[in-house]
A and B are shown apart, each in its own frame.
Chain A
Amino acid sequence: MAKRLTDFLIKLSTDSHSLEQFETDPAGTMDAAGLSATERKAVLSRNPNALRKELGQPHVSHMTDEKKKTAKKKKKTAKKKAAKKK
């Protein structure tokens, strides 16, 4: 795993001073963090896909919700019953 890049991104997100430093001197902060040439390029591109590639992460967003049929089925039977009664 890209440990240096990971630590660098964690630092920027936990410490607003580091983020400010990065904004004023990107090259210097990336030097200090020991990032490789391709990692620097990915950071400077500010493109999440380029960063993800360096981090070895596929494009995954864990879905935590799903629509199910159950509610609909119940309604249908209720409607059918109502129609029969008529």
Chain B
Amino acid sequence: MTVVGTGYRIASQITPESLARIKAADKFFYLVADVVTETWLAGLNPSAENLTDSYAPGKSRTDTYNEIVDRILAPVRTGLHVCVAFYGHPGVFAHSTHEAIRRARKEGVPARMLPGISAQDCLFADLGFDPSDGCQIFEATGFLVQKPKTDPSCALILYQAGAIGVSTFETSALWNRSALQVLSEVLSKKYPPKHRITLYTAPHFPVCDPIILRISIARLPKADVTIATTLFIPPSKEPRWDDRMARRLGMS
């Protein structure tokens, strides 16, 4: 079994290795975020099957993920070579792909994930940001509920800011606006309220540019956030420098 990522821009961000796996599979499943990529993928392999119908408005996403894993594993168990394609990187903020690989391996079937271009990869390129001074990445609900220790001298990336606290699937562009108020309050305690943050959306279509909105943290509750938005909070402080450690490392 192979799990691959299609990136964001229809057919242009997939690796040749992943494309070859899709074409060679006995059974091919896909789950992507736009209809054009769906059409392109459906044309690559006659066995192609869209996993989208495992989602339904109001249905628990946990149920959906379990169903997706079962759908993927059914042909694996009959000995078929299965390929599964997800948009972005198939292992970045994606529960069912990791779970399907774990279960296939447990059942003695070789399973492998091939990397894809994720939202943060597009973000680094489009915002011209290099994570070399550190970059903290969280799922937005987890950031609020699990309260990880974060450092304002490192950049912060939050996925799924448009779906905070929501455990079902919805079809609206933003699933929980009121939670953005909470996120804004929490961020304001760590950063100056006027600190500029970026709402980033990578383009799916080749004729479109990325959507890059720069706003203050205080403006977040009213901002144009969707479930496809990734939040980028640049550092508000210079990184620290430990002279003693630098000397110890021979960096004088």
Contacts and interface: CB of A to CB of B under 8 A. Distances in A.
Given A61-B228, A62-B31, A22 B207 contact: yes
A61 B33 contact: yes
Interface in B26-62: 31-36, 39-40, 52, 55, 61-62
Contact of A47 (B36, B159, B208): B208
A9 interface: yes
B65 A64 contact: yes
Interface in B2-42: 9-12, 31-36, 39-40
A59 B226 contact: yes
A64 B95 contact: yes
Interface string B201-225: 1011111110100000000000000
A57 B97 contact: no
Interface of B is mostly: loop
A38 interface: no
- Category for how many chain A residues contact B: 20 to 34
Best-surrounded residue of B34, B55, B86, B203 (most CB of chain A within 10 A): B34
A46 B207 contact: yes
A72 interface: yes
Contacts of B211: 48
B132 interface: no
B163 interface: yes
Contacts of B124: none
Contact of B146 (A14, A22, A65, A72): A72
Contacts of B61: 63, 66
B62 A13 contact: no
A37 interface: no
Given A63-B227, A64-B97, A12 B163 contact: no
A56 B35 contact: yes
A65 B119 CA distance: 14
B203 A48 contact: yes
Interface in A48-71: 48, 51-52, 55-68, 71
Nearest to A22: B207
Interface string A21-53: 010000000000000000000010011100110
Given A48-B205, A65-B93, 5 more contacts: A12-B207, A13-B9, A22-B207, A46-B209, A51-B205
Interface of B: 9-12, 31-36, 39-40, 52, 55, 61-62, 65, 86-87, 93-97, 139, 141-142, 145-146, 159-160, 163, 167, 169, 171-173, 201, 203-209, 211, 226-228
